[in-house]
Structure 1
Amino acid sequence: MTYDYLIVTHLPAFYKINLYNEIAKKLNIFVIFVAVDTEEKRSADFTNFGDVNFKYEILTDKTFQARNLLVTLFKLVTKLKKYEFKKLLVCGWDLPEFWLAVFLSSSCKNCLALESTVLESNTNGLRGLIKKIFLSFIDTVFASGDLHVELLKTLDYDKKIIITRGVGIINKPSFSFVNKHYRKRFLFVGRLTSVKNLKVVIDIFNSLPEFKLSIVGSGDESKLLKKNAKSNIFFIPPVDNKLLRDIYLDNDIFILPSKKETWGLVVEEALFFGLPVIVSKNCGSRELIEHGVNGYIIDPDDFFNLQETILSIDDATFAVLQNGVNHFSVNDKDVQQISSYLY
């Protein structure tokens, strides 16, 4: 049997499983997962094989961080020799497994799903040269968005580029949408690390006692952030994806102020559940936000820009933003994402 795609990716993350399930409805694919799980994830059900509708194998039953590299490389070689495929799709350039895969495959078959952006990826000196060497083995790049295309241009990539507008497909549980009254309830979901820029957000909300901020997640900044937060800021431990719906629906505005973010799947989740989004201009998913229509794009390094944006929202502007969110279709965006792999 010849597969349309042999896909090599990090983990069975839920959003990748959802994407591959949809592609598998149109094409014959086989997926090789490097590891079964990771020690760094936002919830217990971040990785799972519950609803897989395609053929796959896993190179190690250990976590991604604990894998034996020599073992995974050896197993990958045997898989590449075993299966026939029209195209090889690797989901990054950050693993030795990806390098080995593209090196052993014909360059005319090789595709890259690029989730790195020009903002967090080093393009100078030796690191830039290494990325250019990797790209020399790649015939087609599936770039998530504009910041990803900009990275390719910086690296002088001149072959085929297809924009997907996503990195996977979110879970979409059913819910009843209702127009809300603005209650000044803001939400963040993600890992609590310095790159998320939450200290700045907490400083702002500390000065706004009539506003409520809910922070869902855990990470190495948890203790520091909790220590600095006042009583209008609430910390919620990591929540399973299937339980996030009610948290989104209980809030008004989603905020993602990251200093850098390759995409930001939480932006799609917020839009799906009807929340306008305040997003950093350094997030890949910023292109899903039309400034002043379904959210705002802010400078994460400008404290007053973020503060003024929060304070500018009142009942009237919230109604405008909600209307903008209502006219944005995550489903339509996902149709484009799925179709991009059918070229």
Structure 2
Amino acid sequence: MEEIYKKILLSRYDKAIVSGKRHQKVLIDLNFKGSIVISKGVGILRKKRKGERLLKTESINDNAGLRFLFVGRIIKLKNVELLIAVFNELGLSLTIVGDGTERKELERKSKSNIIFKGYCSNEDIHKYYKEADVFILPSYSEAWGLVVEEALYYNCALLLSQDVGCLSELLLDPKTGISFNPYSKESLKNSIMKLVENYEYYKANAIEFDIDNKDREQVQSYLNLLND
């Protein structure tokens, strides 16, 4: 019944703007007949002042290993429990920034290689991205993922769940990282090891990704829709 209501609502429109290919497919599956514009975003990233962005061009310290980062709410939907299980086994460095209903229980289960930083304001969040090498988002469902844009702005390679909305636009096409099945522990472990082995390749692609150009394309998509 819900799908019928959606189809009736969509039949009243002849244009739609969506963030990415995943949302485009939703409209197509609902038999939307109008034109669809892909914006490649849901908002414009708040960037730091010129010169404050860190280019991670230095060599990796093999003794220390790569530094992994998660930023977001610590709730079941974000699937942070999977990160805890895998990083407990691998012993790699993981920093978790955010708070939520699952935090205390997951913090209790975590080994010393996993550090919880708690809530962080938007003004201060950049310091964690600048310290990280790899950004990881294991969500069961993520409409887009503005945190992924933030991570790319600071040149982090990406490990994204296959159910993250920006997968095609920010990971697969620019080849900035690896995707994994959020329901599979082995999929995440294998993806982590593959990224570790090929980190320089994904890091180089993250550095080359032009977030400013993506923002310009996003704004232009809105203007095109208004002027069409």
Normalised by the length of structure 1, the TM-score is: 0.61
Matched, 1:265 2:146: yes
Could you tell me which amino acid in structure 2 is paired with residue 309 of structure 1? S
Alpha-carbon separation, structure 2, partners of 1:292 and 1:181: 22
**Residues 252 and 276 in structure 1, CA contact (< 8 A), matched pair in contact too:** yes
Q: 1:138 aligns with which of 5, 8, 13?
A: 13
Q: Which residue of 1 aligns with 2:126?
A: 245
Alpha-carbon separation, structure 1, partners of 2:116 and 2:173: 28
Alpha-carbon separation, structure 2, partners of 1:280 and 1:131: 27
**Residues 291 and 297 in structure 1, CA contact (< 8 A), matched pair in contact too:** no
Relative to structure 1, the CA distance from residue 202 to residue 291 in structure 2 (aligned partners, 3 Å threshold; closer, same or farther) is farther
Q: Which residue of 1 aligns with 2:223?
A: 342
Q: 1:201 aligns with which of 67, 79, 83?
A: 83
Q: Which residue of 2 aligns with 1:107?
A: none
Residue correspondence of structure 1 range 153-168 to structure 2 within 5 A? 153-168=28-43
Alpha-carbon separation, structure 1, partners of 2:34 and 2:151: 34
Q: Which residue of 2 aligns with 1:303?
A: 185
Q: How far did 1:139 drift?
A: 2.7
- SS of residue in 2 equivalent to 1:242: coil
- SS of residue in 1 equivalent to 2:125: helix
Q: 2:59 aligns with which of 173, 181, 194?
A: 181
Q: Which residue of 2 aligns with 1:147?
A: 22
- SS of residue in 2 equivalent to 1:307: helix
Alpha-carbon separation, structure 2, partners of 1:318 and 1:127: 44
Matched, 1:215 2:96: yes
**Residues 226 and 235 in structure 1, CA contact (< 8 A), matched pair in contact too:** yes
Matched, 1:280 2:161: yes
Q: Deviations over 1:33-84 (max 9, x none)?
A: xxxxxxxxxxxxxxxxxxxxxxxxxxxxxxxxxxxxxxxxxxxxxxxxxxxx
Alpha-carbon separation, structure 2, partners of 1:188 and 1:338: 28
Relative to structure 1, the CA distance from residue 149 to residue 281 in structure 2 (aligned partners, 3 Å threshold; closer, same or farther) is same
**Residues 135 and 158 in structure 2, CA contact (< 8 A), matched pair in contact too:** yes
Q: Which residue of 2 aligns with 1:18?
A: none
Normalised by the length of structure 2, the TM-score is: 0.90
**Residues 177 and 195 in structure 2, CA contact (< 8 A), matched pair in contact too:** no
Alpha-carbon separation, structure 1, partners of 2:132 and 2:28: 39
Structure with more relative contact order (C-alpha pairs < 8 Å, separation 6 or more): 2
Greater mean deviation of Cα atoms: 146-155 or 172-181: 172-181
Aligned Cα root-mean-square deviation (Å): 1.5
Higher helix share: 2
- SS of residue in 1 equivalent to 2:68: strand
Larger radius of gyration: 1
Q: Which residue of 2 aligns with 1:326?
A: 207
Relative to structure 1, the CA distance from residue 148 to residue 293 in structure 2 (aligned partners, 3 Å threshold; closer, same or farther) is closer
Q: How far did 1:292 drift?
A: 9.1
Q: How far did 1:291 drift?
A: 7.4
Q: Deviations over 1:218-260 (max 9, x none)?
A: 1111122112111111111111112111110111100001111
Residue-pair matches, total: 216
Unaligned runs of 5+ in 2: none
Could you tell me which amino acid in structure 1 is paired with residue 195 of structure 2? I
- SS of residue in 1 equivalent to 2:74: coil
**Residues 145 and 166 in structure 2, CA contact (< 8 A), matched pair in contact too:** yes
Relative to structure 1, the CA distance from residue 180 to residue 254 in structure 2 (aligned partners, 3 Å threshold; closer, same or farther) is farther
Alpha-carbon separation, structure 1, partners of 2:151 and 2:218: 18
Alpha-carbon separation, structure 2, partners of 1:237 and 1:150: 36
Alpha-carbon separation, structure 2, partners of 1:290 and 1:143: 18
Alpha-carbon separation, structure 2, partners of 1:193 and 1:291: 29
Q: Deviations over 1:133-180 (max 9, x none)?
A: 221232311011111011101111001211101101111103242414
Identity %: 35
Alpha-carbon separation, structure 1, partners of 2:192 and 2:87: 9
Q: How far did 1:333 drift?
A: 0.9
Unaligned runs of 5+ in 1: 1-125
Could you tell me which amino acid in structure 2 is paired with residue 235 of structure 1? F
Relative to structure 1, the CA distance from residue 282 to residue 298 in structure 2 (aligned partners, 3 Å threshold; closer, same or farther) is same
